[in-house]
Amino acid sequence: MSVDFVKLKRTYDLYATEYEQAVLRTMKSGWYILGTELDDFENKYAEYMGSKYCIGVNSGLDALILAVRALGIGSGDEVIVPANTYIASVLSITENGATPVFVEPDEYFCLDADKIEAAITEKTKAILPVHLYGQACEMRKICAIAEKYNLYVIEDCAQSHDATINGQKAGTFGTIGCFSFYPTKPMGALGDAGALLTDDEKIAKKLKALRNYGSAKKYINDIAGVNSRMDEVQAAILKVSMKHLKEGNEYRNWIARKYRKGIYNPFVKLPECREESYHVYHVFALLCEKRDALQKHLLKLGVKTLIHYPIPPHLQQCYGYLNHMNGEFPISETYALQELSLPIYAGMPEEDVDFVIEAVNSFEGE
């Protein structure tokens, strides 16, 4: 038997007619950039999330980069970021000339709120929590710290569409919430796309200008911007994905419950979940001291897995100039050595889920 890590075609097939109608409608409209589809998506997503403004851009990374830029954060400034995140979170800081200050994660793979204050300096301008793998950070604590020190909060919600903590949606706590709609995400486009949420009108206007060459009015450029516009086709597709977001999240939660109930292998540690949070399980992240052996074992049986992420950002060659050393962030480095992600996606057949459970349980630590 062969079990893929993800099958995007299977998710597409669930709503194929709706996707095809959306694309055809857009193609026939004759307007493909900054048109009614994007306007409608932005209004609908802002309303769905309970935010005042949504700004569609061409990727989750651009959303993060423009968020940092819109807040005036640059050279000489510091931004606190989890040490175990995907590198995109850190790139958004360094792309603007600012310095990332790494903080260890907690047992939920999220930025440890209790370690933030020790990392704050006079140069700190923002905290960038990442709702990693689909579970929200302790945002009440993080926002309280930010208020105490007069810091911005930029939420990286690339993997946490519709995740909540204390009943509030990830992406609606901070100054700006940043989303990726990469096809594999809980709410995915059929290409690259991203968005930002904010309740601040001035920030929203600045972001809209930044994504369009820095121009709020054609041929008038008050600021230096970029070309980062979500196209009309992806906006139309995302309106379909938004309609089925809850359904997809519940499907992955069903798989996660089966994994939790069925996997009993003593060599494996199942992911932790806060009682007060709704986890959307973009990733089902196991920990295993013999991770590489487990991955080989599963692949031999036909189960494909991924590692998120084998090298933490502070040890990546591109950040060698920051002079971080191996062993400096032991929790993050342990996660990098032990994390293994099992297949989990909307439309995954139950027989595949059962097979994965059997395959994990058959691992004997060899």
Q: What is the mean pLDDT of residues 37-62?
A: 98
Question: 237 with 307, same domain?
Answer: no
| pLDDT over 80 at 1, yes or no | yes
Model pLDDT for residues 240-296, shown as the tens digit of each residue: 999 999 999 999 999 999 999 999 999 999 999 999 999 999 999 999 999 999 999
Supply the range of the domain harboring residue 129: 9-243
Confidence (pLDDT) at 366: 77
Question: 223 with 327, same domain?
Answer: no
Question: 236 with 252, same domain?
Answer: no
% residues pLDDT > 70 (the chain):
100
Tally of domains in the chain: 2
% residues pLDDT > 90 (the chain):
97
Confidence (pLDDT) at 79: 98
Last residue of a domain, one of 198, 226, 243: 243
The answer as to whether 149 is a domain residue is: yes
Question: 222 with 271, same domain?
Answer: no
Q: What is the mean pLDDT of residues 312-320?
A: 98
- Predicted model pTM: 0.97
Question: 230 with 98, same domain?
Answer: yes
The answer as to whether 20 is a domain residue is: yes
Q: What is the mean pLDDT of residues 47-76?
A: 98
Question: 214 with 264, same domain?
Answer: no
Question: 67 with 165, same domain?
Answer: yes
Confidence (pLDDT) at 365: 85
| pLDDT over 90 at 26, yes or no | yes
The answer as to whether 1 is a domain residue is: no
pLDDT category, 344, cuts 50, 70, 90? very high
Average model confidence (pLDDT) for the chain? 97
Model pLDDT for residues 106-150, shown as the tens digit of each residue: 999 999 999 999 999 999 999 999 999 999 999 999 999 999 999
The answer as to whether 172 is a domain residue is: yes
Secondary structure of the chain as H, E, C letters = CCECCCCHHHHHHHCHHHHHHHHHHHHHHCCCECCHHHHHHHHHHHHHHCCCEEEEECCHHHHHHHHHHHCCCCCCCEEEEECCCCHHHHHHHHCCCCEEEEECECCCCCECHHHCHHHCCCCEEEECCECHHHCCCCHHHHHHHHHHHCCEEEEECCCCCCCEECCEECCCCCCEEEEECCCCCCCCCCCCCEEEEECCHHHHHHHHHHCECCEEECCEECCCCCECCCEHHHHHHHHHHHHCHHHHHHHHHHHHHHHHHHCCCCCCECCCCCCCEECCCCCEEEECCCHHHHHHHHHHHCECCECCCCCCHHHCHHHHHHCCCCCCCHHHHHHHHHEEEECCCCCCCHHHHHHHHHHHHCCCCC
Question: 337 with 265, same domain?
Answer: yes
Question: 50 with 195, same domain?
Answer: yes
Model pLDDT for residues 205-224, shown as the tens digit of each residue: 999 999 999 998 889 998 99
Question: 258 with 110, same domain?
Answer: no
